[in-house]
Structure 1
Amino acid sequence: MIRLEITPRGLLTIALLAVGLWFLQQLWPLLLIVTTSFIFMAALLPYVEWLVRRGINRVAAVLLMLLLLILVLGSMIAIVAPAVIDEFRDLRNNLPDYAADVETFAADLGFNTERWDLPERAAEIDWNRIISGSQVVDYGQRVLVGILTGLTIAVITAYLLVETHRLRTFLFRFIPPEREADAHHFLRALERVVGGYVRGQLITSLIIGLYTTIVLLLTGVPNAVAFGVLAAFADIIPLVGAFIAVVPATIAAFQESPTQALIVLTALLIYQQFEDRLLVPRIYGQTLNLPALVVLLAVLAGAELMGIVGVLLALPAAAAARVVLDYYLERRTGSPTGLESPQVLAPDDPPLSS
C-alpha cells in the first residue's frame, strides 16, 4: 500500500499552482505581447539613453525612436505589398505559359518531361476556389488583429522605455541589498544579449536586402527593391526565412526567362551559405554564444509551441536562457563565464543603474 499525506499548506500550494497555471493559459497572448515589448525595449534602450545623454527629453527620445521604427515598417509594407500583388496576379494569369517554359527548360537540361503535363495541370487550377470570399475576410481579420497587436506592442514598449528607471527602482525594492550588485550584473547581461541579438538581426537583414536588390537589378528583374525588402524581412524568420527570401525572387525572375531565374537562384543560394557560415557567426558569435544544435532545437520548439510567433521569439528566449545559465554557473564556480557580451550595433554602453 502507498499512503500519501498532504498537509493543508500543501493543498493550498497545489491549489495556488493550479490557479496560476490557469491564469497563465488564459493570459498567454498578453504574455507574448509583453515579452515582445521587452525584447524591443532591450534593443532600443541604448539609443534612447544615447539621445537622453545629449540633452533630448526622454519622452521625445522614445517617441522619435518609435516613429522611426514605424516609418521603416510602414515603408517596407508599402513597397512590398503592391509588388507581391502584381506578381501574384501575373503568375495567375500566365501560369500555363510559365509551366510550358518550365517543361522546355527542363527538357533542354536533359530531363524526360513527356509525362509532366504541367501546362494542362496549371490550366485546371480553380483560382476562385483557392481564393474564396471567406478566405479574403479571414485574412483581412488576421491583418487587422496583427495591426492592433503591433500598436499594443508599440505602446507597451514606449512605456517601458520611458519608465525604465522607475521600473528598475521598483524591482530592486524586492531584492536584498547584498544581492543588488548581482541583480545589476544580471540585468546588464540580459540587455546586452537580447538587445544585441535584435540589433544583429537588423544588420543581416540590411545586408541580404541590399544584396538581393543588386542581384535583381543586374539581372533585369522587375520590382527589385520590393523583393529586396521582402528578403530583408524574411531574414528575421529562422529556417523558413531563407525559403521566403529565395523563392518569390526566383519566380519573378522566371517570369522574365528561365536563364535569369537560374542566375538569381544560384546567387541567392550562394549568399545563404555566406550568411550561415561567415556572417551570422561573426555577428552573433560573441552575443549569443549558442551551439548550432541549441539554436535549431530552440527554433523547432518555438514553432511547435507557438507557430510563427514562437519561431520569431525562439532565439531571443534562448539567448536569455543562456544568460540565466551563465549567471548560475558563475555563482557556482566563482569564475566569469562571459556575461559581459559586447553589444552589437549599440551607440555606447548605457548605465543600468538608476
Structure 2
Amino acid sequence: MADHQIPDSKPRVPLAAILTVFAIILLLAAIWKWSSMLLMAFGATLIAIALRGGASLLRRLTGIGLKPGVLICAVAATLSLLAVIAFAGPPISAQFRELLSSLPQAWQQVDDWLSGSSFGQFIERQLDNAQQGGNGSSAGSSLPSIFGYLTGTISSIFGKIANLALMVTVAIFLALDAQLYRRGGLRLVPLSYRDRAGQIVDEIGKALGRWMAGQALDMAVVALATFLGLYLLGVPLAPVLGIIAGLTNIIPVVGPFISGVPAVMFALTQGVDMAVYVTLLYIVIQQLEGNLLMPLIQRFAADLPPAMTVLAIIAFGSLFGFVGVILATPLLLVSIILVKRIYVEDVLGDRQDD
C-alpha cells in the first residue's frame, strides 16, 4: 500500500515577504533615529523652494540666470536680517530694559486687579498653598540648579543657531542645483515607477511653493496689521511685535498665542486696560485673517482641511517637539499628496478628478 503524504496545512511565508517586513522595520527605525536630520532636511528644502521662487521672479523681471538669482536672494535675505538687527537692536535693547524696570509696577497692577475679584483671590490662595507646600529650600541652595539651567539654555541657543546656519547652507546648495538632487533621488526608484515618482515629486514641489507663497502673503498682511494696530494704541516695540506676529502666524492655532504673549507683556507696562485692548486687537486680526484673508489665499494655494491641520499639529508636535509644530502644515500637505497619489490612485485604483 503506497504511503500517502499529508500536505502541510500551514502555508509557508515567502522569503521575499519576510525580507520586505524587516526592511520596512529597519526603514522606520532609521527614520525615527534620524528624525532631527530629516526635519532639518525638510526645512532646508522649504528654504530652497523659496530661494528658487525668488530667483525665478528675478529671471522674469531682469533676465538674470537662476543660479546667480539664488545667490542674490540668499545674500539679500542675509543683509536684510543683519540690517534689521543693526538698526532695531539698540532701540529694542533700550525698550526691553524699560520693560524690565517697569515689570514690578505692572505686576502690582495685575495683583491689584486680581485682588479685587473673587477669581483672582482664588488664584492667590492656590499660589500661597503651593508655596507653603514646597520643600523650603533657600535661594542660595537653588543657585547651582539655576546656573545649570542658564548654561543649558545658552548651549541650546547656540546649538539652534548652528543648526539654522547649517540648514540655510544646505538650502542654498539644494536651490543652486535642484535638478541634480532630483535626478539622484529618482535613481533610487525602480524603473517601472520612476516616471510616476517624478510626477509626484514635481507635484509636491509645486504645492509647497504655492503654500509658501500664500503663507508669505498672509504673514505680511498680519505683520502690517499688527504693527499698525499696536502703533495706534501706543504699545512699545510695535514694529518688532508686528514682525513676530507675522513670523509666528505660519504656525496655525498656536502662532497667535506665541506672538500675543510678548505684546500683552509690553502693554501691561501701561496698565491692565492697555493689555485688554491689545488682546482684543489680536483677536480681531486673527478672526479677519482666518475668515477672510486665508480663504482667499487658499484659492490659489494649498487648501488644507482645518481639522486635519489641528490634528497634524498635535501629532507632529508630540513626535518632534516645537520643530514639528512649525513644520506640521507643510508635512501634512506632503502626506496628503503621497496618500492620494500612491495609495488612493495607484494601490486602490481610484483616479477620480480632484
1:288 aligned to which of 299, 302, 327: 302
Are 1:271 and 2:267 an aligned pair? Answer: no
- The aligned residue for residue 70 of structure 2 is 62
- The aligned residue for residue 303 of structure 1 is 317
Opposite residue 215 of structure 1, the aligned amino acid is G
Quote the RMSD (CA, aligned, Å).
3.7
Q: Which is greater in Rg?
A: 2
Unaligned runs of 5+ in 1: 338-354
- How many Å apart are 1:76 and its aligned residue? 5.6
- The aligned residue for residue 41 of structure 1 is 48
Judge which range, 86-95 or 269-278, deviates more.
86-95
Q: Within 2, Cα distance between the matches of 1:3 and 1:176?
A: 36
Are 1:336 and 2:350 an aligned pair? Answer: no
Alignment of 1:118-137 (within 5 A): 132-137=146-151
1:207 aligned to which of 204, 221, 239: 221
- The aligned residue for residue 3 of structure 2 is none
**Corresponding residue SS for 1:238:** coil
Instruction: Provide, for residues 225-274 of structure 1, a one-character-per-residue CA deviation record: whole Å limited to 9, x for no partner.
Output: 12112212221223221112222112211201223222222112111111
Are 1:25 and 2:13 an aligned pair? Answer: no
Aligned pair in 2 of structure 1 residues 244, 172: CA closer, same or farther (>3 Å)?
closer
Judge which range, 284-293 or 216-225, deviates more.
284-293
**Corresponding residue SS for 1:239:** coil
Higher relative contact order (CA 8 A, sep 6+): 1
Q: Within 2, Cα distance between the matches of 1:175 and 1:207?
A: 45
1:97 aligned to which of 90, 96, 105: 105
Judge which range, 268-277 or 80-89, deviates more.
80-89
- How many Å apart are 1:160 and its aligned residue? 1.4
Instruction: Provide, for residues 14-56 of structure 1, a one-character-per-residue CA deviation record: whole Å limited to 9, x for no partner.
Output: 4444443443333222211111122222333233234346442
- How many Å apart are 1:117 and its aligned residue? 5.9
TM-score w.r.t. the length of structure 1 is 0.78
Q: Within 2, Cα distance between the matches of 1:264 and 1:93?
A: 21
Asked if 1 retains the 8 angstrom alpha-carbon contact of 2:227 and 2:241, the reply is yes
Are 1:327 and 2:341 an aligned pair? Answer: yes
- How many Å apart are 1:309 and its aligned residue? 0.8
Q: Within 2, Cα distance between the matches of 1:147 and 1:112?
A: 42
Q: Within 1, Cα distance between the matches of 2:212 and 2:269?
A: 35
Q: Within 2, Cα distance between the matches of 1:272 and 1:37?
A: 28
- How many Å apart are 1:111 and its aligned residue? 5.9
Asked if 2 retains the 8 angstrom alpha-carbon contact of 1:197 and 1:288, the reply is yes
**Corresponding residue SS for 1:132:** helix
Instruction: Provide, for residues 131-182 of structure 1, a one-character-per-residue CA deviation record: whole Å limited to 9, x for no partner.
Output: 93222221211111111111221122112111122333445555648963x5
Judge which range, 281-290 or 225-234, deviates more.
281-290
**Corresponding residue SS for 2:321:** helix
Aligned pair in 2 of structure 1 residues 137, 252: CA closer, same or farther (>3 Å)?
same
- How many Å apart are 1:301 and its aligned residue? 0.6
Say how many residue pairs are matched: 331
Q: Within 1, Cα distance between the matches of 2:31 and 2:96?
A: 41
- The aligned residue for residue 252 of structure 2 is 238
Asked if 2 retains the 8 angstrom alpha-carbon contact of 1:80 and 1:227, the reply is no
**Corresponding residue SS for 2:227:** helix
Aligned pair in 2 of structure 1 residues 310, 117: CA closer, same or farther (>3 Å)?
closer
- The aligned residue for residue 221 of structure 1 is 235
Aligned pair in 2 of structure 1 residues 115, 152: CA closer, same or farther (>3 Å)?
closer
Q: Within 1, Cα distance between the matches of 2:313 and 2:120?
A: 38
- The aligned residue for residue 342 of structure 1 is none
Asked if 2 retains the 8 angstrom alpha-carbon contact of 1:40 and 1:195, the reply is no
- How many Å apart are 1:100 and its aligned residue? 2.8
Q: Within 2, Cα distance between the matches of 1:99 and 1:299?
A: 33
Alignment of 1:135-146 (within 5 A): 135-146=149-160
Aligned pair in 2 of structure 1 residues 188, 24: CA closer, same or farther (>3 Å)?
closer
Aligned pair in 2 of structure 1 residues 82, 14: CA closer, same or farther (>3 Å)?
farther
- How many Å apart are 1:330 and its aligned residue? 5.8
- The aligned residue for residue 340 of structure 1 is none
Q: Within 2, Cα distance between the matches of 1:309 and 1:265?
A: 26
- The aligned residue for residue 266 of structure 2 is 252
- The aligned residue for residue 197 of structure 1 is 211
**Corresponding residue SS for 1:253:** helix
Asked if 2 retains the 8 angstrom alpha-carbon contact of 1:302 and 1:311, the reply is yes
Instruction: Provide, for residues 95-148 of structure 1, a one-character-per-residue CA deviation record: whole Å limited to 9, x for no partner.
Output: 44323322445678x767667769x98xx9979869932222212111111111
